[in-house]
Amino acid sequence: MTPTCAGPGCPEPALSFSRGCWNHTDRQAYPQALREGLAQSAGALTLNLKRASLENVDLSQRDLSGSAFSQTRLNGCSFVGSVLAGCDFTAARVSNCDFVGADAPRASFAHATISLVSFSHADLTGALLADAHLGETDFTGALLAGATLWNADLTGAKHIKKRSFGQAAAGVSEKDALPACETYRSLKHYFYGAGLYEDAGWAAYRERRMERLHYRRTGNPLYLPSLLMDILSGYTEKPNRVILSSLGAIILYGLLYYALQVPQAVASPGGSVSVVDSVYFSFITFTTVGFGDFVPQPVAAFRLLVVTEAFMGPFMIGLYLFTLTRRYAAG
């Protein structure tokens, strides 16, 4: 258990290897005391460095799980290969530091100002980066699956990609749909700015999914139209869904036409038609080709049914062209 500061009436916990908190310690002598304490300590350490100001301290290859670095100023420090699980860097100012290969799941960097820092190949699974400023921060090979990036400033951040969010692009933390939606929107703009159009499409799709989840939880009537757009086109991000949806509609209409015997051959009116003929009639109706070899029976309900498919066809074709253009034109 961290002892309380020895300063008169001070309730703050004492800094590691010191009897006082940052306000009640010799600030010039403390960095050397910390280095000596680290050199004499083996095994896991839970450090309290809250509000300290440190430069060029080597904390590499140490198990520092659960350590407190909140409101700490760190400049030129090294955490290479360190275990930082659950560490608290809230509101810290971190610059020119090296976190290469650090294992930092669930670490909190909320409200932190991070600049010229390398998180290359670091594990930041479930990390809290809300409201963090990430200027000139390198995330090459870093893992951010389940991280909270709500309102984080990604301007200047480097090498964040879809694959940064885990196997099958698991995504950011989605416990709260609305912040997750805003996070994906920020990632979408970041990816577009970096020329990563495939990744931007992924983020745009997840953004709409979170928006739909918010609609469902709040009882918003926009939920059903949103669900329909996901099924038909993946929110205009998945052209293949438009093709599959169109084929599905053609086959369903064809089976319905066959069950009701809606079409009739012009060459032999009044005769029955096969399943193949019915699907063929559905296809030419959907595409509005209209060869004239098959027409609907002269029944008002049948004609109305055919009209609904004839209306749907151009809509789906237009949706496909729009989706394809949106998907690839930027590239």
Beta strands 113-115 and 263-265, pairing class:
unpaired
The angle that helices 275-286 and 239-260 make with each other, rounded to 10 degrees, is 130
**Angle, alpha carbons 24-27-31 (nearest 5°):** 125
Per-residue pLDDT of the chain (331 residues; tens, 9 = 90+): 678 998 888 999 999 999 999 999 999 999 999 999 999 988 899 999 999 999 999 999 999 999 999 999 999 999 999 999 999 999 999 999 999 999 999 999 999 999 999 999 999 999 999 999 998 999 999 999 999 999 999 988 999 999 999 876 678 999 999 999 999 999 999 999 998 988 999 999 999 999 999 999 999 999 999 999 999 888 888 888 899 999 999 999 999 999 999 999 888 777 788 999 999 999 999 998 878 888 998 899 999 999 999 999 898 888 888 877 766 655 4
What is the pLDDT at residue 236? 84
113 - beta bridge partners? 93, 133
Residue with tokens 């090296």: 98
What is the pLDDT at residue 184? 95
Q: Is the Cβ–Cβ distance between 281 and 257 less than 8 Å?
A: yes
Beta strands 294-296 and 113-115, pairing class:
unpaired
Q: Compute the residue count for the chain.
A: 331
What is the pLDDT at residue 118? 97
What is the pLDDT at residue 269? 78
d(CA 152, CA 132): 5
Q: Does the model's pTM come out above 0.85?
A: no
What is the pLDDT at residue 257? 95
Residue 78 CB coordination number (10 Å): 18
Q: 188-195 — which CB contacts under 8 Å span 24+ positions?
A: 190/154, 190/157, 190/160, 191/161, 191/162, 192/330
Q: Is the Cβ–Cβ distance between 273 and 261 less than 8 Å?
A: yes
What is the pLDDT at residue 170? 77
d(CA 13, CA 88): 15
